[in-house]
Amino acid sequence: MRKQTLYPLTFIPVLKDYIWGGRNLEKWGRELPFEGVIAESWEIAGHQDGITVVANGSLAGKPITDLLAELGTDLIGSNSAWALDNHKFPLLVKLLDANRPLSVQVHPDDAYAQTYEGGEMGKTEMWVVLHAEPGAELILGVKNGTTPEIFRRAIQTGQVENYLHRLSVQAGDHICVPAGTLHAIMDGVLIAEIQRNSNITYRVFDWNRLGVDGKPRPLHVDKAMDVINFNQVEPGLRPPKLIATKQGIRRLELCRNKHFTIERIEMQPGSTYEGECTGETMEIWGLIAGRATINAIEFQAIQFVLLPAVLGKFTIQAASETTFLRTYVEKPNSH
């Protein structure tokens, strides 16, 4: 496949019907193809549990995993060359409709996952709150004074809730969630999530509810206790970091780690963003508010697009007041 055949790629989402979901994505213009709850929409995914296929252009119908095999670093960039050795697409992009609370859970880091989960990646993630009902909350970290011994005893005695740190959230908030963070997304929240390409979750508490089979969903207490970072004591929300303001465009850094960097790009109507993919990294742009074109291809919220690493120059034009999430991967060891 030649470089000049590449263009901004959109994908057909993979939908997940976990018990905590709802139908709220319909309010955002999404067509949900079957009845019942939809908890997650995997927007760009190359995981064995969900693989998106290209929706637009000459590559329509091609799974992202086939693109990765054919294009290699031309698709994902030299900064993510390690992913080719693991035959994995590096990132996973989701929308989450938390109509009911998710379980209290934690994700492992790479070292633990590769040792105990058959070579799977660890899972660091970042959330952007797209909608929050009044009084909406997240659980993030533990309360002051919580030790591993106290927490394990609380699991055994059904008192976990006494040690969970709750955080009020509203639309526009962002939360960086490193591997090892004890967390739960509570009800009444719609979230965009950008994460490592992993689907490992260790539950420690599931609100004493039953799954669709009428039985409690399994917990993973021992593994969770191995990986929970008990130094994350009552963390708060962090404000975005202003990068630049120029010609109707404001760039803010939301989350930066060795796995990905995520910016919020705010564009005034009629403004133009000029960028270039030079081969080092793909870029994933998520349009979360407004209307815009990328290389003259029209997009509207909520929609994610993958710009291949060797795409070259690209132009984004805002047709209205517009907000994007921009994700890219920096050079290894640059942190």
Active site residues: 203
Q: Which residues pair with 196 in a beta bridge?
A: 91
Q: Distance between CA atoms of 253 and 272, rounded to whole angstroms?
A: 19
Q: Distance between CA atoms of 184 and 203, rounded to whole angstroms?
A: 10
Phi then psi dihedrals of residue 102, to 5 deg: -75, 165
Collapsing DSSP to helix, strand or coil, 161 comes out as helix
Phi then psi dihedrals of residue 53, to 5 deg: -115, 155
Structure tokens given for 175: 């939360």
How far, in Å, are 20, 142, 156, 292 from residue 207 at the CA level? 11, 17, 14, 42
**CB distance 202 to 208 below 8 Å:** no
Compute and round to an integer the Cα radius of gyration of the chain.
20
Q: Distance between CA atoms of 126 and 120, rounded to whole angstroms?
A: 19
Structure tokens given for 311: 């795409």
**Nearest to residue 123, comparing CAs of 104, 106, 103?**
106
